[in-house]
Structure 1
Amino acid sequence: MAPKRIREKLSVLTRRLGPPAALAAVTMAQTTTSASDSMAAMIMLVNSVIPVLVMVLVLKLLFSSFKELGG
């Protein structure tokens, strides 16, 4: 892809997603070489984020139930 075309794609991403999301998308595109690699990277990212979110929700639920029992 020519540098001009890359700049055009980056400006479109920045307008649509905002600078942080565009940077993440560009980084993902540069580090992966094919669609299957990109999909595997996205699945790995989701699989690492979901357990953390579940743990945070469980801890929040536990602490809120302890507050109700104590007070």
Structure 2
Amino acid sequence: MTNKRVLSSDNFKYGYNAATGKYEDLMAAGIIDPSKVRYILKLLVLSTATLVVMLLFVLDMSFYYLLSH
């Protein structure tokens, strides 16, 4: 939920401040580089999606292997 809300915003300064539990302008809240926060968030989302796809592929291949033997 947090990822979708932050990534859908056009303002690169907007994000989730874990210290306060609020969505806000991170620069105004004193977080130095909100663009780095967004970059890391996108990287984590992409990494998670890649792992899920690879897991599904491995499970699918294992299923076909078991059926053929």
**TM-score grouping bracket, smaller chain normalisation:** 0.5 to 0.7
**Match in the other structure for 1:64:** 60
Show the 5 A alignment for 1:1-71: 21=5, 25=9, 28=15, 30-33=24-27, 37-71=33-67
Give the alignment's TM-score, normalised by structure 2.
0.53
Shift of 1:21: 3.1
Q: How many residues get paired?
A: 50
Structure ranking higher on relative contact order (CA contacts 8 Å, 6+ apart): 2
| Structure 1 stretches of 4+ moved >6 Å | none
**Structure with greater Cα Rg:** 1
Gaps spanning 5+ residues in structure 1: where?
1-19
Amino acid at match of 1:46: K
Give the alignment's TM-score, normalised by structure 1.
0.52
